[in-house]
Amino acid sequence: MKTDPVKIFRRCGGQLRMSEAIKQGISRYMLYSLRDKGVIEQISRGVYRLIELPPVSNPDLLTVALRCPNAVVCLISALSFHDITTQIPHEVSVAILRDSHPPSLEYPPLLIHRFTEQAYQAGIEEHRIDGVTVKVYSAEKTLADCFKFRNKIGMDVVLEALKLYKSRKKFDHKKILEYAKICRVDKIVRPYLEASI
């Protein structure tokens, strides 16, 4: 029976890593042939998707999710995802476990932050973007992380995010404080939250 690579791509949501394609019976030669014919496009090294799919809404987060499955979108990139910043991220900020091997990508540029086990695990949300599951910290966890990394990202960015969160989301100061405790910044966060209530 002849393998129909387009059917396989469609069955898998329209995009595949090379390793997944090979497991599904699509050879490297077939992948390159489909790419050269304009049936699929290479969106990152080793990641292909059908041209017929609608344009990718967030190619950077998609690439990170496909190539670095253990990385969690954090800080400025997560603020941007939740629409609680006016900052435009020039790289994708990701969290990894403190002792894990850092991912390497040619593009997009990554800003890697190492988190303790507890801080890394807390507040992970999974969002579907263009058929791919992307791990992003919740808005509340992101705010706690921003307070923790305030010296790196700037207190003005943190306070703007808190203000935008309050006006655009359901304000949940208890959740923010829970995450702030995990990040060991609850004493710093508390007065800002009390001023916001």
Q: Which domain holds residue 23?
A: 5-50
pLDDT for the residue 197: 58
Based on the fold, state whether residues 124 and 28 are members of the same structural domain: no
Cβ(145)–Cβ(74) below 8 Å: yes
At 64 the pLDDT is: 83
Give me the number of domains the chain comprises: 2
81 and 171, same domain (yes or no): yes
Are 17 and 132 spatial neighbours (Cβ–Cβ below 8 Å)? no
Please check whether residues 71 and 130 belong to one and the same domain.
yes
- pTM of structure: 0.73
> Helix crossing, 186-196 with 139-148: angle to 10°?
120
The per-residue pLDDT for 196 is 66
pLDDT in tens, the chain (197 residues): 566 888 888 887 777 888 888 888 888 888 888 888 888 888 777 778 788 877 666 778 877 887 788 899 999 999 999 999 988 888 889 999 888 887 777 777 888 999 999 999 999 999 988 777 889 999 999 999 999 999 999 999 999 999 998 888 888 889 989 999 998 998 998 888 887 65
Whether 99 and 15 share a structural domain: no
Q: Are residues 11 and 43 in the same domain?
A: yes
Other CB atoms within a 10 A radius of the CB of residue 1 amount to: 4
Do 22 and 74 share a domain, yes or no? no
Q: Are 132 and 189 in a shared domain?
A: yes
Q: Given this model, what pLDDT does residue 121 score?
A: 94
Strand segments (E) across the chain: 15-17, 40-44, 47-50, 72-73, 92-97, 110-115, 124-129, 132-137
Residue 190, token pair as written in the block: 């508390």
Residue 12 has a pLDDT of: 78
Secondary structure of 119-166 in the HEC alphabet? HHHCCEEEEEECCEEEEEECHHHHHHHHHHCHHHHCHHHHHHHHHHHH
Residues 87 and 150 in one domain: yes
Looking at the fold, whether 29 and 10 belong to one and the same domain comes out as yes
- Is 80 in the same domain as 158? yes
Residues 190 and 168 in one domain: yes
Assess whether 76 and 131 both reside in one domain.
Answer: yes
